[in-house]
Structure formats: C-alpha cells, structure tokens
Structure 1
C-alpha cells in the first residue's frame, strides 16, 4: 500500500486527485490534509511522517499584490521541506509547477524557485522528486476567475453573463482527469524504482486551441444544450471533456427537471425525449414501487434519465459533499434530468404503479473503461468499480 498525501487537497486539482486515488483502495491509502496544517508545525510534521508520497499542490494563483503570491508560494515550499527534515523522512515529492516558469512574473518565479528548492532537498536527502511542468488545467469545479479562463467562461454562460476575451492566443490545455492519471502513473513508476529518481517532468497537453475558439465552442454548447436540451456533436474525447466541464457549472437545482412537450391525439401521446447531434445508446427500464436503481457515479459518461410513466424521485450528490438534490418527476408531465459527472445519482419509484424510465448514454462511453463506481447518495464514500 502506498500512503499518499496531497497538500492543497481541497483545491481544484487536489480534490480531483483525491477522488481519483479513492478508486485505488486496493493499492493506495489517502492521508488526509487540511490547509490549516501549514499553520501548525505539529500537524504538518505529523502529516509528512505518514506519507510515502506527497503531491505538493498548495499554492496561491492570484492576488492583487504579485509579491504576496511569490512570498506565499515560497513559504509553503520551505515549510514542507522543514517539516520533512525535522522528521527525517524522505517521501517521493511531486511538485506542481507551471509552464509560466519562464515568464517574468512573480507566480512563475515562485514556481521555478519552489521546484529548485525541492530538487535540492531531494538530492541532499536521497529522496525521489518529480518537478511537474503542468500546462493550463481545466475541468469540472474549478473556481471562476481563479483556476482557468474556461471555468470563468462556463460560469458566465450558465449564469446569464457575457464572457470577455481579454487576450486571444493559442493555449495548451490538459483536462484535470488527464493530469490526475498522469500523476498516478508517475507515482507508480517511481515507487517501483530501486534507486531515487530526481526529474523534471514536462507533462504533455491534451490539445491546443485559441481562446476565441474555446469560447465559440462553449457558446455552441450553451445555445444547443443549455437553452434547447440538444446534445451537440462531440468530435473527440477533448470535446467530451469540454462539454462535461461546461455542464458542471450549471445550477442543476434550478435547471432540472426539464419539462417536455406532450403531443396528444385520439391515437395516444407522443413525446420527444432527446435530440442528438451525436450518437449513443437509448434504453428504458421498468421499476416496481419502492425500488431504487443506481447509487453510483460516472467520471466520463454523459447520461439522461427521462420519466415517461409513473412517479419518480431522482437524487444527485456531488462526490465529497453532503448536499443531496431531489427532483420529482411524473410521467403525466414528461421531463428529464441529466446526470453530471462526479455526481452520485439514483432513481426511486415513489408511485403506486410501475415506473417507466428511458435512458440515454453517449457514444464515447465504453462499458469496459471503468467509468462507473458505486456510491450511495446518503452514505459516506465507498468506492468500488462496477
């Protein structure tokens, strides 16, 4: 078992990495970290002592005074080094630096010098060290105006605001899930090594686009999906990741369930449940009264539940949080709820007759790719691959 701790665990990348590591409970133990540990030498030393691996993500990205960014980021590195030296421990440290290292700004300087300080510690201590040069990271749950311009664009588009392009240019981007998987594989590789490894790791980016091109794509998602419920054409995995990112900035409680148009004539009723710009699989289920289906979440799949007969309650809960969203649907007024990624979801028949539910999943989903994980909406995390 590898004991892994993440400084900055509550942050954007930290929370995703923590969740991804939770899927590896047969080989990884997650050592909890809180930001307050940097305010207590005792807690910080206790933390480093428990770790075989430390992923140092804690950092300040933005502040009105650039000097505060520089001072804060160097202080955090020095505190981490001091704690490890005080405890005489040599965990494998992975440091999240940035492609801004070579830029003439305080953030870039703090990242470059922080990486150099940790590299010097590793060499004199006989420890392994990976200095990661990370491209621009985007993905679900990033803070608008802080983590990524994509987070800012998505939040504004889904909250009635107009995004602005302050400076256009070509940007190299990596999805947060891709970054986490790279880090996990690096941990495994170094853990298998028989001698210490000190390295500079240029993390490959997923794709490169101009800022205006990204914005145009997100506006397209807004107009088709957010406004009309139309699943757009998704050309490759990168567009799936961008689309899933966009969906996560919606106010799900306010947006769902979406009422569908019900057409009736003497023959019966017709309801269009889904318009597709992409392919996928459409299926349906029947559920007897009182039964709950689901209680799992997905890390990549796009999925829609449409109730066409009976009464149902659909529940959503974002992984790592306690808030449960409850949606009540009735087949007499057909409506749907979409399942955001990293949200545990279930559906319960709360009526007295059989429940008919239609399901759609996108064509990029592979039933064998380990996308689905068990976790109930009302209990603590219990990660198991379905």
Structure 2
C-alpha cells in the first residue's frame, strides 16, 4: 500500500481514568519513518458520574453484562464528543481517528480460565459511535494483536518514542507518568529493535487514591500536599519488596497490581508509623519516584554506561513539582539530565494521544506498530481493528 499523508486524531484515556486527551497530528511519510506535526491538543475531564462508573468497573469483583455494555457505549459517546469538540475549536478536518479506549482489565500473563491458560485484555469505548459522529474511519483495540503474538500488549508508546527521540550520540529514556508509570529506553545509536520498555510501577495512581480519600481531592496539584509531609522511608522500602518490582522486563502493570486495594494496603502501612495525612501522600510520591529510579538503575543503566542520558518525563506526573524534584534527586547522581517532553516540543499530556494517532496511521497502511523488544511479542504485529463509517 502506498503511504500517504493524513491528519489523524489520537484519543487517549489512561489508567487514572480522569479524562480524555485528543491530539490532532499531521503524519507524512518521509524516507525511513513518518514525520509528525502536532496541530492541536485538548484535554477533557470525565463527568464525575462517568469516572465513578469507570473506576467501579475496573475494581469490580462482579458486575452485570448490562453495566459493561452501557459503559462501553457511554465511553464511545464521550470519545466522539471530545474529538468533535477538538475539531470544532481548531477548525481542522481529520482523515482518521485512533482511539486507545479505556482499559477496564489487563491480564498480561497467562492464567487458567475454563480449562485453558491465556492472557487477555479489554479496552472499552464503542468505535462505531465515534466513526458515525466524526464521519471518518476509527482504529481501536490496539493491544490484542500484540498479545496474540505472545506479547504483553503494552507498552505501545515505544514506536513514537523511537520516531521522535532516538539520537545517535545520547541515550534517551522516555518516562511517562500517568496512572501507571512506564519508560522506553533508547541507547545512543540504537536501532529500532534495540530499544526496550516496561512499566516501572505506580505513577499517579496511588497518589491520586490517597488525595481522594484523605483530602477529598482528585489529585495533589503540583505536589503541594506531599511537600508538607515527610517521607516514611521504611514504608517505601517495604512496598518495593513486592514481586512486581523484581520481575525482569518486559513487564506491564495496571490497577490489578496498584489500584484501590493496593492503595488501601499502602495507607494502612503508613498509618502504623504516622497519622498525618500529608506524610502518607509524601510517601506515596516517594514510592513512585523510587520505583522509577530503581527500575532505571537495575534494568536500564547497565545498558547505557558511558553515554550521556536525557531522562525525558511526560504525562500528568510531569506537572507534579514535588515528584519531579524527587526524581531529579535520585536520577541526576546516576548521570541523567532530567527534563520534560515540552523541552522537545511535545506537551507532556499530549504524548500518549499522539502515539495512538501514529499507531492508527501505521495500521491504516498495514504496517506493524508494536516493538517486540518492549512488549515481549514473538514478531511485529499490525495493531488494532478498523471501523468504517
């Protein structure tokens, strides 16, 4: 298929389940890889009642098929409205939409069910509604093709990381901090199949859960509440003994590992030492920073010895000043220059939406979008399913 330039709307809603990011991206084929131009980016908060429905579905031990069907369609309506609002605000027409959907369940490792062992995943958000509203084809459901090829279905951002950030002279670590934190490591001069990626552990997820429970706030704006507390180091060390942190990459995590139940366990551990709520939030912030730093030290630094490293942070966590200061304190002594994706011309909160615009463009042109060294897949795979108007 001949590659053609397109304007693509990338749509992302992450494990924090706080809302939707839409990025409008012009993508043009240039020699060996596509060239991307971000035209516009908008963020939309979920209505409170929809966010509660999403979080309830994520943590449900049992639910009804009616609830799940309704949520799937309600999310499709929300995505369609977000895309249309973005297009109208910026007076831009698109050729294609790439929608990640809302992850309700992600089991990356095979487990037994009904007599068979397999991995599985589910991203909700009815693509047919988006296609009907926007009147262009929609690519959705990106993870399953990678998992069918033996991968973990995540992370899927490494393709974008290589296209935008690979450098011949400098090592690059692209750290996204959403609900879950994940990184892509690209050694200096690395080819596409030499980069690797994994989820480092909780990003904003535990911090947000504690901000909600202890302060009745959706999140700790700029880390201001955490800055008033002290870090309970024994709790951080205790929680980092969990099996997930010792696993070798590739590995991926979600609310199944670090969601509501984990946050309750974490808070109980904090309260055995301190009843001050700011201390618990400071400790949750330190957990995210320390898990990122230890992940880099153990799995990435040995492959980047002797080269300068740019540590580029994106996602909502990049706007948490307390978290960023903790990361700098841990990573800079290891030779990292810590910065944000804004310094490279990409807004922190737009990055994942841009990634799914690129993945949709790749799928439309029948090109693989996964990075097997990141997901653990046996082979490259064309990701996603196309819903036509």
Q: Considering the TM-score relative to the shorter chain, is it more than 0.5?
A: no
Which one scores higher on RCO, CA 8 angstroms, separation ≥ 6? 2
Greater percentage in strand: 1
More helix by percentage: 2
What TM-score do you get using the length of structure 1 for normalisation?
0.32
Query: In terms of Rg, which structure is larger?
Result: 1
